[in-house]
Amino acid sequence: MDRIMGSGYWVVVTREVQFDVMRVNLICVFCNVNGKEVRFDVMCANVIGIATVLEAMEIEEEAVIVNSSRLKSVVWNDFDRVKKGDTFVAICRHCKRKLSGSSTSGTSHLRNHLIRCRRRSNHDISQLLTRGKKKEGPLAISNFSFDQEQRNGDAVSVVRTKFEQGHTRDGLFNNGIVNFDNRRSRLDLARMIILHGYPLSMVEHIGFRIFVRNLQPLFDIATFDGVEADCREIYLMERQKVYEELDKLPGKISLSADTWTANGDAEYLCLTAHYIDDSWHLKKKILNFLTTDPSQTEDMLSEVIMTSLRNWDIDRKLFSVTFDNYSTYDKIVSRIREQLCQHRFLYCDGQLFDTRCAANVIKLMVQDTLETASQIIHKVRESIRYVRSSQATQEKFTEMAQIAGVDSQKCLNLDNSFYWNSTYIMIETALEYKDAFPLLQEHDSRYAMCPTVTEWDRISAIASFLKLFVEVSNVFAGSKYPTANTYFPDICDIHLQLIEWCQNSDDFVNSLALKLKSRFDEYWKKCSLALAIAAILDPRFKMQLVKYYYPQIYGDSALDCINIVSDCMKALYNGHAIYSPLAPNGQAEASQVGGANNDRLTGFDKFIYETSVSNNIKSDLDNYLEEKLFPRKDDFNILNWWKVHTPRYPILSMMARNILGMPMSKASLETGCVMNLKIRRLHQALSLWPCAMMQNKSKSLILLFQSSHKLVQDEFFCSRI
């Protein structure tokens, strides 16, 4: 360094000395000013990206204090500005330290000094740090952001950078910043690692430790074992929060079970709790990732699930269970239902307990469609690949399209194997150019993959199949409030379309439709009752929607099916009414059907309720069904509607809370269109952590925060048995 800027002008450096204070690189330089050697301290202020002349150590006696009324910055409340000739110096009123007071030096170095000044109170420093930054909010992961653009007026000048791996904490002192909390910072570090899936070993990386030490010398950086312990501490705190929240719920809890496959073919059963809280917000929390093994019997797996429910103390609050649409879980669900019915924990003897995932059954029908039509789709795919193989071929195909009178501006694109909706888009676009492909085959002998007329008709049928599934999946995915009432109309439309396709005269279309309907009927048998009741609890539809669809689906037997739904609706309402606090004598709590396990007089409670209610007094259910329908609106929020009308329908609203919280579809478009995305993300999550971590409860944290952050962006929690 040969010269520096001092008090608005450049001065020649005669000698310099370098040293460290709190890991901040300082250079002490001596300059000749008016025949006298004056000392300046220059700080490499890499935190703010500015190298500033800090102080001139000697002030001549003739210097005078300048009136600072025109100085706008709040830092001048703590500094006196002294002038000697054209030289300005700022003197700290607390420690009497002297710094450059020139207008060209700015005030950033003065503010930095006040933060470090040990004679300045912590309260004043707190005000200094927060002044002018109130709009930024507290520094937390939830609102943390990076400003990558520096102000235009900032002059960036790195004087010298020095890294010392052997630096110790000896000599460090409290820098006066507001009450530094080491424990909180350690937990923040652990949460950051969990949230973003960073490896635990990052706390032992040299570069990371140097960065943190320079950023905050007082922070005691955790070791590998220490950050693992911090993760467990967070786990226990969060688990307790979820436990207390589930315990205080006013309604029931529905459970979903989803199979996840990780590296090495390891399988996990993910248990997620779904519920509507006291504020009528739909929530879900991952409770457990249960390790499954092919050697486990149905009895063993059902007992593992029941053990998990008992550990969370929600077996008495369970309302329904939603599994993948596989028959392998039928026996498991039956065993769980039997145990709960023995303790009278379920309404209507568990009629609505067993449901299946709507998005999953759509995915399976899509797979059946693509598999059955694989050869025809292959021809379409190869035809498009050939057209796109060269510029000359594309120009030739465009010419053929004009001759054929094709009026389409769409581009022919290949599909993505992970997104089945892209296959639909590929087929739909190819159909618009179907008259151009035969002409291309006539004029280009190398092109030999053109589908026949019959195959084009079948491709059109396949496109109609996929179009329906795409539209329904988009409805499920785009629902702002994915409550159980949203599924009934679209599922009924699929049912009606399958009935129509089964009557197609083409053997190919007919056989495919029968295959799809067989798979759909299995789902409809288990879920139609719950879907219908959920639709009835939608004030825009009530019983009218069931009466509209069932005659189209069942024909002459529609009335009997409608009566089954109506009877179940009444029985479910009576079950809620008996255990409602508003019921006569209030023998049981609303949150626990059946009360104590040894209560043999549950039937007597029902008898008292039914005989004590006058036939002339209408129930909540009767009043609700008789009132006119609420207007259909796109932005309708059914949870908000029931929240507002709870005083009017106290018992029915309790029933609506339990029904609408059922997860009729555990996933939306992710299940339908991205078949293996979830598995690949699970692989990524597991690969970030060492094998040693997979043997303890910290493994649950991996799955917890990787899932919540990358898959569904929702509130989750998990543990492991």
Classify each residue of 653-671 as buried b or exposed e, where b means 16 or more C-beta atoms within 10 Å of its C-beta. Answer: bbbbbbbbbbbbbbbbbbb
Whether the per-residue pLDDT at 490 is higher than 70: the answer is yes
Domain assignment of residue 120, yes or no: yes
Q: Tell me, yes or no, whether 713 and 651 share the same domain.
A: no
- What pLDDT digit, counting tens, does each position of 27-80 carry? 555 555 556 665 555 544 333 333 333 333 444 445 556 655 566 677 888 888
Provide mean pLDDT across the span 398-427: 90
The distance of Cα 685 from the centroid of its chain, to the nearest Å, equals: 15
Query: Does residue 128 sit in the same domain as residue 239?
Result: no
Number of domains within the chain: 3
316 and 188 fall within a common domain = yes
The predicted model gives 109-128 an average pLDDT of 66
Of residues 122 and 640, more confidently modeled: 640
**Mean pLDDT value across residues 701-705:** 43
How much is the pLDDT for 374?
92
Question: E strands along 318-469, which residues?
Answer: 318-323, 354-356
What's the confidence (pLDDT) of residue 21? 39
Contact (Cβ atoms closer than 8 angstroms) between residue 699 and residue 718: no
Q: For all residues of the chain together, what is the average pLDDT? A: 76
Pairing of strands 9-21, 24-33: antiparallel
Position 384: which residue type?
Answer: I
- Classify residue 123: in a domain, yes or no: yes
CA 689 – CA 228 distance, rounded (Å):
11
pLDDT of residue 609: 57
In a domain, 21, yes or no: yes
Same-domain pairing of 107 and 245: no
Domain range enclosing 281: 179-342+676-721
User: Does 692 share its domain with 641?
Assistant: no
Query: Is residue 409 domain-resident?
Result: no
Residue 112 lies in a domain: yes
Same domain as 118, residue 18: yes
Mean pLDDT, rounded, for 434-441: 93
Q: For residue 197, what pLDDT is reported? A: 77
Q: Based on the domain organization, do 223 and 336 belong to the same domain?
A: yes
Is 43 found in the same domain as 188?
Answer: no
270 phi and psi, to 5 degrees? Answer: -90, 120
Say if residues 203 and 227 touch (Cβ distance below 8 Å).
yes
684 inside domain = yes
Which pLDDT belongs to residue 605? 64
Residues 226-238: tens digit of each pLDDT: 988 888 888 888 8
462 lies in some domain: no
- Residue 95 is predicted with a pLDDT of 84
Q: Are residues 652 and 688 in the same domain?
A: no
Determine, yes or no, domain membership for 458: no
CA distance linking residue 76 with residue 110, whole number of Å: 9
Indicate if the pLDDT at residue 595 is higher than 50. Answer: no
Provide the pLDDT confidence category of residue 421 given band limits of 50, 70 and 90: confident
Instruction: State which of 137, 160, 195 marks the end of a domain.
Output: 137
